[in-house]
Structure 1
């Protein structure tokens, strides 16, 4: 709030205080009551006078500012005219077909500066317009308040001089406010006109910038495949000497403090406070990188390097490069956000050097870790030679970047330097592969036996890269040769990380398989699905990440990547339906997520939500199964939608499905509906003990088509659900787990039946699993052929009934033996006859039994 606004607020408060005084300055008011309101009028008049003086000073200042702005309008017009001339010059340059790529990049830099400057001017002018609009609104409110005060004075009809003074002051203040409002409107009109001019310039420059970017991209493609005269043939010693002198001058400038001070000041001029903010952001990024580096070290210390050597190697490689990786990403993000990569030679060189250092560091650290973890002393020279060439090549390529940005792509010294590097790389290949072949001939490693094609493949690839680059250079395709080497270098780094990712995933799969083999089955069923989904998702990331990385390594731009995904989204007609590869991928992902989600949701419901709910075990299983069916139904509908099935297509498909159910799938559909009936009606439930055709078993799972019964012999019976609906099933656990079991025992004739009954009841009462209510009972069943039959009836539960029967029989046999109660067994009388009926009346010989004599044998 400004001083004038505070003053006007005080005036308004005083005015309200005056109006709040009843009967102010009426004729009949006693003099003693008049003095206080009159003092309020005086104070109000004094405040108004101060406000009027402040407004006069402010009005005078506004007048001077308006004159200054009108004088500055000429300078602004000259700036606009110069900017438009610059746009015309850039447009004329674009019409020249012989313009080099360096000139186009310079024009791009100046054009971006023009766009940024115009955008900054527009933003500043719009902010000033907003402030002026707010001031005009405040003036309008003040004028309205003054008018209300004048009307109030008129209605009061005060004849005191102080009242007339107040009215005059209010009129003067209103005139001042009107003049101030007019000048503010002049300011607003001026700013609006300037903002419109700068905004038009910005739009024109942005359109020209888009055309220039298109022209540069086209020129890059043309230069890449444009053949020129062999630069080595037309190179002169004078050109090389001149370039060397230029390099010496640049080195001398680089050793001076003023050179770097000028660069820093230029960056500060471009960025301003944003540079300080960016520097603080860089410090935060590096701090986070070092922080995560500690986490990586802690994770490495807990890793089994022998069980997961490749994962430990990849983690160690990432850990070593985290600070450099953070700096590289930040540099590229900063230059891209500020559009400085194409305009600032210093920042572009810095980004290229950081990327070169990062990629070479990955290669060196990988070879070092490979040598430490996988010892192969005989072929250690392979790692040593490659490390030397990477370490030396890093510095040589950094010098090449600096020369290119300092002297330009067409510099004679740069061409000579590049050709020297290419020839040196070809010579190194010849020496390296000759020595490697000699070592392999003396003693090849075991993994290379029968795989000599691997050596020839790598050797041919290395020779091919080196020789093609040299031939392209000699043929005049200098830019294409550079692109060839750079792309292969990037591809090697992408291949390195793909290889590490592949080996790490393979180790992870093997570790999980080993852990799953020793894990409990219930835990494995719930966690195995998530591990399976994680592994498959990571393999998809490996596939698509590798494809994208290789595309970017070979210079794929955003348009090519978009075209790649458009290809995946291209419809493939099949009859009246259109399928898309991307839709099939989405459908597979939805199916996998549905599979894992159903598993985990059922596990969560069973072990978390319903575990202590008090519901029956079978009811819990029904809720879990129905929830899984509902989730699968939603997933299948989502899959059909991802595949491109519309509502009409789904109607036709379900209609065809209905016809199929009516003919060929009757049994399947019958079993499915029967399964739903079992889940909702629950005549049998999971955990019930049932009897089918004399076979006892426990219900383990009710599936969509069939039910799994596990017998007491641990055999699994898979029975269609329809048989439980249409057939007869004995459910020993239905609604009540209690069951009565009968044990028959026969005692010899002559036994004390009262003692037998009391003994059987005593044995039943001493068993802990026999229910006390209903009480055990003993029945005297029958008089058998060889025994008196008794039946002991006891109540127990279904899960332990067989064990209870066995225990009672053991106890009966033991106690009966102790108490002398004989357990009878069957007896058989055998009658033997000697002789025939014709001799039946012949008297028997002495000492021999006569015919018809019987012998009783106990069998």
Structure 2
């Protein structure tokens, strides 16, 4: 139970990883299927050219001259032949480079990331080639339109020339017609020549595209063969005599041949991106140094005060700012795609390992740092295994040792995490739970690798070693990146660096926690991407999930079919719209509306409508993803309407009433209302029901229909004010005018009593024991408890200073004696004595009563 939240985060991350793998596989499966060809438009019959009359001859001749002059300008304006030729030459060069890189991988086992990069480069080249083909198609269409227009003009002016040969036609007209016709024919030759160039270039572009697709298919085949080889035996079992011989053994090394020329060529090729990354590292370093200085100054001011958890965590992450900045820069290299040749990958690992150790060791307990040293040495051993060449048997032995050590390290980590003395909150925290889960997963993978090495599945063992060791280093590196990001966010939020935003200033804890979750989610996604990039075992799972997600469910809901992928996208869009609606509502409620002057209740109504509008738009977008026809949606809505009419009348009434409450606003948020015996403030107005918080702290859920149909007393509808009556009793004999003046003066002196309407003091009448007065004042409804108490105390002090007595209730008793004729004379003396004694007792009792009063 205490770890439910953290485990839910882990399940969300695992589900996101599986979903991303499945979607990637679905996209790859769909990419293999040819896209449907659009239907060609029906050919339009050319219009019959009109005859040229002698009356319009001059106008038509000028128009043709203008078109002839524009043909050359138009051709030069839209000419893309030279640009496309240069681009195709560049694509050819890059395709040759990719082909050479791919052929170089034939002699050794390629890294999964190497094949991934080749595949991505070929996809980019395919997209570039398609863009050039589209440009040529557009250009050819333009040339075809010009040629069609020119042919129509040739036909018209050929007929005009036949008519101009009549004796009645002037010679100048005949010559002018022949000149125009000659120009049109020259334009046709130029258009035909340019069209020929475009056709030849289109043919070359298609050939280039075929070459790119062929290379891409070869890379896909290599990726599949790499995956298939993982589950095939390459070497004999270790218990056989020739198990570790080099003859016929599988190669797991990469035969690195790093040279200065290759490094110089790489630096020249990636100069722009490297400069951008250097700028990013310098900027991050400067920000981290500033954050550490501010945090150090804050901690120094507290001196002997107790530590604050977020300060301690942030100080651990920011202890080495420049190393952290360099680690962040290296982590961003995968995003910038700074080249993925094996030499650069190994060089990156050599640089990143010390930075990773320096940064991450500050974030773990001191007892755990020895394990980090061991993990770093194990990573170094893995790089050595990757660099070993020549003796395949030695590689297998090193791989076996590496995996055995990894199993021992995973067992030690599991035991350490189980026995380490940490606070309960830390043990139930996100990072501790992630580390415990990964330790068990690493033990499982490393154990599989050890068994694979023993029985001869060398490639599977190599994948297991990469997943266990490099995966662990990558996981802890992204954990360090996330911790650094959380430190920067916490420092900015809690130290007022983001106080320009009111929503941050008023919700520091919520803002810091939300941004921390976003950073953790981003780090988890980047780790999943990196882990999938360095291993290839996930590809069968990805292909299986891709086929499953792309399979038609046969529900008949849409003409194109509905798949699991569509349902997955449907729920993703709904979730994104819900999150976006909450975020926009939060920004409107906490940041924008408080800066505007609006009536009470208007910001809440606008926020509510905006939230439901975003959710509704997301729902429509999600429905469109499923491809449901509108007529079927209408049928469903009609059936739903019938159901609503019969069984959901009260629910619809409450929902409609909720919209009426938000639009007409007879009851607004924070209004003081009374419904029957319920008195309290409105704390929420929902779409179906509203919440009233009583002054005892109870929350009463009231359906919106009852708020509109029932009798509701709203104390603050027109104005946030409430009248309070304070009764006062004064002793008889006091001047009423003096008392009225004192009461008015006391009310005017209180700052929370409204001046308009003005306080009113009244003399209400003569009571049994006092002169009865009333003080009537108006105040804010939230002050109706404390202000009357303060006024009562002030009135008592003022009357005491004026010497005015506040009486207590009293009664006069009249005792009557017994007539003399009713009592015998002999007993008279005794009776009188008893009567006097009783009278004295009553008198003492009355005296005691007055004293008690």
How high is the TM-score relative to the length of structure 1?
A: 0.57
1:505–1:376: structure 2 CA closer, same or farther, 3 Å change rule? Answer: closer
Q: Displacement, 1:290?
A: 1.6
Measure the CA separation in 1 of the matches of 2:438 and 2:184: 91
Post-superposition offset of 1:288: 1.5
Which of 1 and 2 has greater Rg?
A: 1
Instruction: Assess if the C-alpha contact under 8 Å between 2:446 and 2:468 holds in 1.
Output: no
Residue 736 (structure 1) aligns with:
719
Q: What's the secondary structure of 2:648's corresponding residue? A: helix
Is residue 668 of structure 2 the alignment partner of residue 679 of structure 1? no
Structure 1 pair 850–624 and aligned structure 2 pair: CA distance change class (3 A): same
Partner of 2:274: 286
Q: Is the 8 A contact 2:281 2:328 kept in 1?
A: no
- Looking at structure 1, the residues matched to 338 and 170 of structure 2 have their Cα atoms a distance apart, in angstroms, of 76
Counterpart pick for 1:597 among 569, 572, 581: 581
Provide the C-alpha distance between the structure 2 equivalents of 1:513 and 1:424, rounded to a whole number of angstroms: 44
1:812 aligns with 2:812: no
Question: Secondary structure at the residue paired with 1:733?
Answer: coil
- Per-residue displacement from partner, 1:39-89 (whole Å, max 9, x unpaired)? xxxxxxxxxxxxxxxxxxxxxxxxxxxxxxxxxxxxxxxxxxxxxxxxxxx
Deviation, 1:422, is 2.0
Q: Greater CA deviation, 487-496 or 231-240?
A: 231-240
The answer as to 2:313 corresponding to 1:307 is yes
Match for residue 661 of structure 1 among 626, 630, 648: 648
1:748 is matched with which residue: 731, 736, 740?
731
2:465 counterpart SS class: helix
How many angstroms apart in 2 are the aligned matches of 1:133 and 1:737?
Answer: 76
For residues 585 and 311 of structure 1, the distance between their equivalents in structure 2, rounded to whole angstroms, comes to 39
Are positions 1:848 and 2:843 aligned together?
A: no
Choose from 436, 450, 453 the match for 1:469. 453
SS at match of 1:686: coil
User: Is 1:447 aligned to 2:413, yes or no?
Assistant: no
Does 2:396 correspond to 1:418? no
Report the equivalent of 2:596. 612
Alpha-carbon distance in structure 2 between the residues aligned to 1:780 and 1:238: 118
Residue of structure 2 in register with 1:358 after alignment:
348
Contact kept? 2:753, 2:778, Cα under 8 Å: yes
Map of 1:298 onto structure 2 = 286
Displacement after TM superposition at 1:708 (Å): 3.5
Return the offset for 1:795: 4.9
Alignment equivalent of 1:555, drawn from 536, 542, 547: 536
User: Which position in structure 1 is the counterpart of 2:308?
Assistant: none
Whether the 8 Å CA contact 1:690–1:698 is kept in 2: the answer is yes
Higher mean displacement: 601-610 or 779-788? 601-610
The answer to which structure, 1 or 2, has the higher relative contact order (CA under 8 A, 6+ apart) is 2
Structure 1 residues 792 and 367: CA distance shift in structure 2, 3 A? closer
Structure-2 separation of matches of 1:228 and 1:426: 15
Q: Give distance in 2, aligned partners of 1:218 and 1:359.
A: 27
Describe the shift of the 1:481–1:157 C-alpha distance in structure 2 as closer, same or farther (beyond 3 A): same
How far apart, CA to CA, are the structure 2 residues paired with 1:676 and 1:132? 60
2:501 is the alignment partner of 1:494: no
Equivalent position SS for 2:728: strand
Aligned positions of 1:105-184 closer than 5 A: none
Q: Which residue of 2 aligns with 1:410?
A: none
Rounded to whole Å, the distance in 1 between the matches of 2:838 and 2:530 is: 111
1:67-78 alignment, distance < 5 Å: none
| CA distance, structure 1, for counterparts of residue 724 and residue 748 of structure 2 | 14
Equivalent-residue separation in structure 2 for 1:366 and 1:792 (angstroms) = 75
| Aligned 8 A contact 2:234 2:458 in 1 | no
On the 8 A contact 1:739/1:798 being kept in 2, the answer is yes
Q: Is this contact kept in 1: 2:585–2:608, CA < 8 A? A: no
Q: How many residues align?
A: 672
Preserved CA contact (<8 Å) 1:598 1:631? no
For 1:200 and 1:537, how far apart are their aligned partners in 2? 45
Are residues 515 and 328 of structure 1, via their aligned partners in 2, closer, same or farther at CA, if it must alter by over 3 Å?
closer
Matching residue of 1:621: 604
Distance 1:128 1:454 in 2: 57
Deviation at 1:199, TM superposition (A): 7.9
Indicate the SS of the match to 2:807.
Answer: coil
Q: Quick one: distance in 2 between partners of 1:237 and 1:618?
A: 81
The answer to whether the 8 A contact 1:591-1:639 is kept is no
Q: Which runs of 5+ in 2 are unaligned?
A: 1-57, 59-104, 111-117, 250-254, 296-310, 423-434
Taking the aligned partners of 1:387 and 1:596, their CA distance within structure 2 comes to 42
**Residue 564 (structure 1) aligns with:** 545
Give SS of 2:469's match.
Answer: helix
Whole-angstrom CA distance in 1 between matches of 2:437 and 2:142: 77
Shift of 1:709: 3.6
Between the aligned partners of 1:328 and 1:780, the Cα distance in structure 2 is 83
Check conservation: 2:281, 2:326, Cα contact below 8 A: yes
CA deviation map 1:714-746 (0-9, x unaligned)? 555544445444444433323134554433333
Q: In the alignment, which residue of structure 1 is the partner of 2:5?
A: none
| Deviations 1:585-605 (CA, angstroms, capped at 9, x unpaired) | 652563354245235335415
Uncovered stretches (5+) of structure 1, i.e. residues with no partner = 1-18, 20-99, 241-246, 265-274, 334-350, 401-413, 473-479
Residues 554 and 780 of structure 1: is their aligned pair in 2 closer, same or farther, counting only changes over 3 Å?
closer
Residue 454 of structure 2 corresponds to residue 481 of structure 1: no
The offset of 1:848, in angstroms, is 3.1
Aligned mates of 1:323, 1:743 — CA distance in 2? 74
Secondary structure in structure 1 of the residue aligned to 2:718: coil
